[in-house]
Structure 1
């Protein structure tokens, strides 16, 4: 959802070159160089106001995080959150050093990342595009997932959350039709109470507060990730 115009957003973003990336295509295949380390890269596609990705960057400093959205207003909101977290951390930190915010259209995600560049993709409360004729616009449609698969490496996983039952059912069928391994499927993520390790998005807080179910699934794609999954499954079988 696009916010009403945030006054001065373009000017604000132009002054935040260490956090905001306005020309992501220039860094294709070079994101680790931009971060200045060899840490894994986790990306949230459609980050909204940025609560999830900014908090994740603070909680996991040894992971590089990228939040992507296509509107200046949303990038600006996320930037404000990142700056506030930097102030809280002190030590002269302007914002979390392992965080970049990107303005981009996900239709062209293959122009932003090179093959095998990403370790994990988060899809949190993506637009459900409820009309059948708009199914191809859903971020879990096979045409998007195929793009993700090409830019993800051997550790690849997709973590997907939504409040939409119809989108969740569509997504599970989409992943299954592509022969992808799914795990940790939940139809009511917060049924047993909130997990302290769980970082919530703005939408998640809103919907959970209304008693709505949150649906979640992890999709295991990369060869190394699949091997770890199979090893864990074998350990469980041996226990029983």
Structure 2
């Protein structure tokens, strides 16, 4: 969902270059410089307004987190939170998920999150889905051996597509949940804004955990 432009977004981003990077093609292998401590680097592609990534950073102080978002207004919402919270283990990127190999070095990322990505339901838009094989190839390149990929969605069609796409790519599944909020195998689930709203109305959430076979 595209957010309306906010007049305060650009000035806020411009005023906080230490907290946010814009299309950072010169940072491959250097992301630890952005954090107080050198810790495992976790990446969320498509962070929306940032509830998930900020709560993850709070709950996991021994990991570093990067929120990557294409929409300027959305990343500005996260930045506004970060200006207040000043979490030492959170950094933001305004950039395109299709350019991950330009942003990160091989094996640099220790975990990756895809939360409620745009389903792009029309067949002609398949290549835009974040679980399409070209995206999977980029994830594989930047992720360390055995690093987990977590995918959550409320869209059954996208979930089924993603299972097939990842299986065809040769990935290994550690968890497949058809109803996340009722799944006793899952502990400590942190919700996105959309997830909380959707599930509170009885909507079903799907989740999978997978990794690449290096």
Under a length normalisation based on structure 1, what TM-score does the superposition of the two structures give?
0.84
SS at match of 2:110: strand
* Number of equivalences: 213
> After superposition, what is the alpha-carbon deviation per residue over 1:2-38, rounded to whole angstroms, capped at 9, x for unaligned?
2111112111111112211124212111111222532
What value does the CA root-mean-square deviation take over the aligned residues? 1.6
Q: Does residue 1:131 correspond to 2:122, yes or no?
A: yes
SS at match of 2:158: helix
Q: Does residue 1:21 correspond to 2:12, yes or no?
A: no
Cα distance in 2 between the residues matched to 1:4 and 1:142: 31
Unmatched segments (≥5 aa) in structure 1:
87-94, 224-240
SS at match of 2:181: coil
Match of 1:142 among 133, 143, 159: 133
Q: Which moved more, 1:123-132 or 1:74-83?
A: 74-83
- Say if 1:156 and 1:222, in contact at 8 Å, map to a contact too: no
1:40, distance to aligned residue in structure 2 (A): 0.5
Q: Does residue 1:35 correspond to 2:8, yes or no?
A: no
Instruction: Give structure 1 regions of 4+ aligned residues with deviation exceeding 3 angstroms.
Output: none
Under a length normalisation based on structure 2, what TM-score does the superposition of the two structures give?
0.94
- Say if 1:27 and 1:34, in contact at 8 Å, map to a contact too: no
Q: Does residue 1:118 correspond to 2:121, yes or no?
A: no
Cα distance in 2 between the residues matched to 1:83 and 1:59: 18
Higher percent of residues as helix: 1
